[in-house]
């Protein structure tokens, strides 16, 4: 008997940013696996079971969820934002690939959501309005020199950069080093957005020039967006500034 | 008197992928500006006005919407997907920057949505599960040589690449040229996903190796995702294959 495995993105956090598709999947599942704070956002019924785990236990969580689904349960793996962006969908796919053949028979449904960079961008203007990249700054799963190489390549080629997992207690210096590295290839005036809890009551959006960007403004729940040389800041009297990347490339790249 | 300007992302197309926040903004607005097919998806009331325009008239549409809002109306500019990703939010910000000072007083609210690459990725597995970039292949607003430079930089650095605006009647050869260019830096087996109308009844998701990728599989509503050298394909008996990019970097970059 094979059950169902939903991998659900609940969006950036505000209830009205969770899609009806995600809400329906949550209503349909019986067993919930995820990082505790993401599960805390759900209003589960008494007949729904909750299996919270730490945020670094992605593969073991995926395996546990897959086992339950393969045994016939209707299981949900829950991510904030979108499950396909530095979240659980890749871990579930990896567990399916590495697991016994029965894993491949599980009915898998991945439910997309509004990922953090889109929510932060919407509150700041349109910083992702032109070519951009999304990069995890965590060197737990890839070497730091590869991260530096990607940062330099992306900034040099004119991509706006959205950073996920910018900092944590175990990774305190990487974001500061990132700003130093990018200052070598980008103008000091390039805007940097620190966005946290976008759309929620405790939202915090801060905009600084790259030369003034301070890693201490970020925590592990912050999405940091670093503009390109094209990105502009529009001041507005009595309102926060707008940051946007023009649709047209207005001057030659170096 | 200053009105309100919503810039709304309705998501990839299925009604259950539009957030409640977007639905509430649609209900609150009186005047709707957008590309015709996006406005066609809305169920407007008789008291709501519709101003459809062609998809290449972004800046004039933004100006018209801004004028109405500055005159006191509650106006919605509607994009499919997310308005901040190759869509109307950047055009509206540009119109605000270039317009008269009164534009900066307009109450602007940008409502994010599930952008096409996330919807396509969810249907294919987790191709965006590691570092990736989003790039518009349109050379209407930037020179083609910059696009080539960005494609090569991104692929060489190990980013998965999501292409928006891959092809149109006026731009018939650029996607084929992109595959040729990427074949110089990526293995021929790298998976390429052609995703169209993800989550809708007319959905079409096709997965080919880069060596077999054919630009004729795409149209202007297709999102094309090109894997990195790390991206994997997992075959499943009786189900479509899963494409995913592992969370860990498993081998050294060239």
Over residues A4-23, the pLDDT tens digits come to 999 999 999 999 999 999 99
Cα–Cα dist A227/A210, whole Å: 9
Block residue for tokens 């800046």: B59
* Inter-chain touch A89–B239, beta carbons under 8 Å: no
Band (A1; pLDDT cuts 50, 70, 90): low
Cα–Cα dist B38/A22, whole Å: 22
Does residue A106 register a pLDDT over 70?
A: yes
Higher pLDDT, B56 or A112: A112
Provide the percentage of residues in chain A whose pLDDT is more than 90: 91
Residue A133 is nearest to which of B110, B131, B244, comparing CB atoms? Answer: B131
Cα–Cα dist A95/A100, whole Å: 9
Higher pLDDT, B141 or B178: B178
**Mean pLDDT value across residues B161-168:** 97
Cα–Cα dist B66/B103, whole Å: 7
Residue B153 is nearest to which of A94, A126, A157, comparing CB atoms? Answer: A157
Q: Give the chain B residue whose CA is nearest to the CA of A152.
A: B157
Residue A126 is nearest to which of B90, B159, B237, comparing CB atoms? Answer: B90
SS3 A224: strand
Q: Which of B12, B25, B153, B240 to mutate to test the interface with A (most CBs of A within 10 A)?
A: B153
**Mean pLDDT value across residues A220-242:** 96
- pLDDT for B253 equals 45
A236 neighbourhood in chain B, CB within 8 Å: 96, 104-105
B235 neighbourhood in chain A, CB within 8 Å: 104
Question: Chain A: nearest CA to B37, how far in angstroms?
Answer: 21
Higher pLDDT, B128 or B1: B128
* Inter-chain touch B91–A247, beta carbons under 8 Å: yes
- pLDDT for A251 equals 54
Residue A93 is nearest to which of B115, B234, B248, comparing CB atoms? Answer: B234
A39-78 pLDDT, tens digit per residue, is 999 999 999 999 999 877 899 999 999 999 999 999 999 9
Cβ-Cβ contacts under 8 Å for A96 (sequence gap 6 or more):
A66, A103, A104, A106, A108, B234, B236, B242
Cα–Cα dist B247/B254, whole Å: 18
**Mean pLDDT value across residues B132-137:** 98
- pLDDT for A250 equals 64
Number of C-beta neighbours around residue A17 at 10 A: 26
B238 neighbourhood in chain A, CB within 8 Å: 105
* Inter-chain touch B85–A246, beta carbons under 8 Å: no
**Mean pLDDT value across residues B195-205:** 93
Give Rg (Cα) of chain B: 20
SS3 A235: strand
A154 alpha carbon, distance to own chain's centre: 18
Please answer whether residues B83 and B96 qualify as being in contact, where contact means their C-beta atoms are separated by less than 8 angstroms: no
Number of C-beta neighbours around residue A238 at 10 A: 6
- Residue whose C-alpha is closest to residue A28's, from A64, A81, A69, A82: A69
Cβ-Cβ contacts under 8 Å for B28 (sequence gap 6 or more):
B4, B6, B74
Q: Give the chain B residue whose CA is nearest to the CA of A234.
A: B97
* Inter-chain touch A118–B108, beta carbons under 8 Å: no
Does residue A185 register a pLDDT over 60?
A: yes
- pLDDT for B250 equals 63
Does residue B254 register a pLDDT over 80?
A: no
Band (B70; pLDDT cuts 50, 70, 90): very high
Does residue B252 register a pLDDT over 80?
A: no
SS3 A127: coil
* Inter-chain touch B118–A135, beta carbons under 8 Å: no
Burial class, A47, CB count within 10 angstroms (exposed 0-12 / middle 13-18 / buried 19+): exposed
Q: Residue A202 corresponds to which tokens in the numbers above? A: 């405790």
Question: Chain B: nearest CA to A3, how far in angstroms?
Answer: 15
Band (B1; pLDDT cuts 50, 70, 90): low
Does residue A241 register a pLDDT over 90?
A: yes
Cα–Cα dist A141/A49, whole Å: 30
* Inter-chain touch B126–A153, beta carbons under 8 Å: no
Does residue A173 register a pLDDT over 50?
A: yes
A93 neighbourhood in chain B, CB within 8 Å: 125-126, 129, 232, 234, 242, 244
Band (B251; pLDDT cuts 50, 70, 90): low
* Domains detected in chain B: 4-114 (3.40.1010.10), 117-244 (3.30.950.10)
SS3 A14: coil
Q: Residue A139 corresponds to which tokens in the numbers above? A: 């060197």
């Amino acid at each position: 008997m094979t059950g169902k495995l939903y991998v659900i993105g609940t969006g950036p956090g505000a209830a009205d940013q969770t899609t009806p598709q995600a809400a329906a999947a949550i209503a349909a599942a019986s067993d919930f696996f995820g990082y505790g704070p993401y599960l805390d956002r759900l209003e589960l019924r008494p007949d729904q079971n909750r299996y919270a785990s730490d945020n670094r236990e992605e593969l073991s969580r995926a395996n546990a969820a897959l086992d339950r689904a393969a045994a016939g349960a209707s299981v949900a793996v829950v991510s904030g934002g979108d499950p396909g962006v530095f979240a659980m969908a890749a871990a579930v796919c990896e567990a399916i690939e590495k697991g016994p053949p029965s894993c491949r028979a599980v009915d898998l449904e991945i439910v997309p959501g509004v990922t953090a960079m889109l929510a932060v961008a919407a509150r700041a203007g349109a910083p992702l309005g032109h070519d951009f990249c999304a990069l995890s700054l965590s060197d737990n799963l890839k070497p730091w020199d590869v991260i530096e190489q990607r940062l330099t390549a992306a900034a040099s080629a004119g991509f706006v950069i959205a950073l996920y997992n910018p900092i944590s207690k175990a990774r305190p210096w990487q974001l500061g080093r990132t700003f130093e590295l990018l200052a070598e290839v980008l103008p000091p005036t390039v805007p940097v957005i620190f966005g946290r809890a976008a759309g929620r009551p405790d939202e915090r959006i801060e905009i600084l020039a790259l030369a003034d960007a301070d890693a201490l403004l970020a925590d592990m729940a912050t999405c940091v967006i670093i503009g390109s040389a094209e990105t502009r800041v529009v001041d507005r009297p009595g309102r926060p500034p707008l940051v946007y990347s023009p649709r047209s490339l207005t001057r030659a790249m170096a």
